[in-house]
Amino acid sequence: MKSLKKLYEEKYKLLLIIPIALLLLSIIQVGVQYSTTGDFVSKGVSLKGGSTITINQEFTDPEITSLEQSLETNFPLAEISIRELSSAGSMIGISIDSDAQDTEEINALSSTVEELTGVSSEDFSIEVMGSSLGESFFQQTKWVLLIAFLLMGVVVFAYFRSIVPALAIILAAVSDLFVTLAIFNLTGSKLGTSGIAAFLMLIGYSVDTNILLSTRLLKKKDGTVIERAYGALSTGLTMTATTLAVLTIAFVLVESEVVKQIMLILLIGLAVDMIMTWIQNMSILRIYLERKKQK
């Protein structure tokens, strides 16, 4: 414990290697994802467009696995996945997501599902999401993120009256997004509209913890820099630990796939934020204060 404390206090410049390496690896992962798939993240039906067949009937796990394998065999070029639908902990049906959008493709898929499950097409619902709608939402989200970062930078700069803390907070938020996105890609999950909301929430949390740190170090004058840093660290880690505990419980207990994706992204993001705030931003601010003192 003492050795870790000594490392954190004295080798903080060396510790910057950790967040920098994570950010670089994440940029590489996202770049590879984009070069191989054309998108920097795997999109779900709600973003990419496609169709969803909902069957309100109970199925066993072997039946669901067999159905998914049969559909992949019958439609080898299509992207098909099956999700369980639950209520109060009990299965109430399944949802079959696919990238099929043409009427012929949807009819062929519907007929095959009817044949494999024995459920009449009149007893399940089909919802079609156009690719243009999902793409429009995705493009608007990019602009929202860009505007959010610009406004965030303006507000932080106006508050601290210095470019370094403002850039450090923006860098921490950008790092959170990139590293979280890269890890999310590695899980093999597909991003839906709910996931977009989770990333926007993550920006807010990242800014919150980083402003807490910056305010303690730059605005308060009592105690040494490291003492103020530990004060911010204690408060910040308590906030993060309680939030992670709640998110973990929700992820385990909640059955909704939409909510699970939000919880997953936030769990990854908050874990990443601890590194970006308490190592990356902390080190940058300490270096900044040291140079400012020397002048």
Q: What is the CATH number of the domain that holds 81?
A: 3.30.310.180
Is 190 in the same domain as 66?
Answer: no
Is 119 in the same domain as 221?
Answer: no
Is 104 in the same domain as 173?
Answer: no
Is 28 in the same domain as 153?
Answer: yes
The domain tally of the chain equals 2
Is 247 in the same domain as 189?
Answer: yes
Whole-angstrom Cα distance, residue 18 to residue 27? 14
Is 139 in the same domain as 200?
Answer: yes
Place of tokens 């923006």: 170
Residue closest to 277 by CA, chosen among 208, 180, 196: 208
Q: Which domain holds residue 238?
A: 2-43+132-294
Contacts of 282 (CB under 8 A, 6+ apart): 12, 213, 229, 233
Domain C-terminal end among 104, 129, 154: 129
Is 63 in the same domain as 203?
Answer: no
Is 124 in the same domain as 144?
Answer: no
Is 172 in the same domain as 285?
Answer: yes
Residue closest to 209 by CA, chosen among 235, 180, 174, 179: 235
pTM above 0.85, yes or no: no
Residue-level pLDDT, tens digit, the chain, 295 residues: 677 777 887 888 899 999 999 999 999 999 999 898 888 888 877 777 778 888 888 888 888 888 888 888 888 877 788 888 776 667 788 888 887 877 888 888 888 888 888 888 777 888 877 666 566 766 777 788 788 778 877 888 888 788 888 889 889 989 999 999 999 999 888 888 788 889 888 888 888 888 888 888 888 878 788 888 888 899 999 999 999 999 999 888 877 777 888 999 999 999 999 999 999 999 999 998 888 777 6
Is 123 in the same domain as 142?
Answer: no
Rg of the chain over all Cα atoms, to the nearest angstrom: 23
Contact at 8 Å (CB) between 23 and 179? Answer: yes
CATH number at residue 211: 1.20.1640.10
